[in-house]
């Protein structure tokens, strides 16, 4: 078992040596899967395909928009230990002091029911850099997950939060024309 982890770490750090720079990343291993914050492991086409085709919140979003959002976020990917295949994803937009927004959380359908989304949310919420940071998120269908494993609560009266709804069509147009 330990040999498998050593091989995984060798694969991960091989990319870092080639860049001749140190990239700070974190890794968590649980059974046959691991979570990493290493952006070089993210299969961006797979993330784009899921968000654009299978999510309700980013239908038809251009690849360039997804790529830009990944570059400007702290990303957490779930990967299969046996082949480093991406099976889940989430990203956080944060100042790492007062505020963090959890976005684009998903586990691919064929990997659901294994507790991976619970593990992902718990890992993100307990990430040391987020200690004391206020999180928020928007969901239509995963309230129980975020309540049980992230400690999130629905705002009852919602008299303090304000929002300007983004126009996904404007985002699609912006990133499709450039």
**pLDDT computed for residue 163 by the predictor:** 62
What is the maximal distance between C-alpha atoms in the chain? 54
pLDDT at 33: 96
Burial of residue 141 (number of CB atoms within 10 Å: 0-12, 13-18, 19+): exposed
Structural domain including 128 reads: 2-177
- pLDDT value at position 19? 47
CB 117 within 8 A of CB 107: yes
- pLDDT for the residue 136: 81
pLDDT tens-digit profile, the chain (178 residues): 444 554 555 555 555 544 444 445 788 898 999 999 999 999 999 999 999 999 988 999 999 999 999 999 999 999 999 999 999 999 999 999 988 999 999 999 999 999 999 899 899 988 999 888 888 877 777 667 666 665 666 666 665 566 656 667 777 777 887 5
Distances (CA, A) of 125 to 27, 119, 147, 156: 15, 10, 12, 22
pLDDT at residue 56, rounded to an integer: 87
Q: Which two tokens stand for residue 117?
A: 């989304």
Confidence at residue 40, expressed as pLDDT on a 0 to 100 scale:
93
Q: Which CATH number does the domain housing residue 112 bear?
A: 3.40.630.30
Number of compact structural domains in the chain: 1
What is the pLDDT, as a whole number, of residue 164?
59
Alpha carbon distances (Å) from 154 to 53, 98, 103, 166: 28, 19, 16, 21
pTM: 0.79
């Amino acid at each position: 078992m330990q040999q498998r982890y050593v091989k995984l770490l060798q694969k991960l750090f091989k990319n870092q040596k080639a860049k001749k720079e140190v990239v700070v990343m974190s890794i968590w291993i649980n059974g046959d899967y691991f979570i990493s914050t290493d952006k070089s492991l993210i299969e961006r086409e797979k993330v784009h395909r899921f968000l654009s085709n299978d999510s309700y919140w980013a239908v038809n979003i251009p690849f360039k928009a997804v790529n830009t959002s990944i570059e400007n976020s702290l990303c957490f990917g779930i990967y299969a230990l046996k082949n480093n295949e991406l099976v889940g994803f989430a990203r956080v937009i944060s100042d790492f002091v007062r505020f963090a927004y959890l976005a684009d959380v998903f586990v691919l359908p064929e990997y659901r029911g294994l507790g991976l989304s619970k593990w992902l949310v718990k890992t993100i919420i307990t990430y040391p850099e987020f200690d004391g940071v206020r999180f928020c998120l928007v969901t239509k269908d995963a309230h129980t997950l975020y309540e049980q494993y992230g400690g999130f609560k629905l705002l009852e009266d919602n008299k303090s939060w304000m929002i300007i709804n983004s126009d996904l069509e404007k985002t699609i147009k912006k990133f499709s024309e450039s």
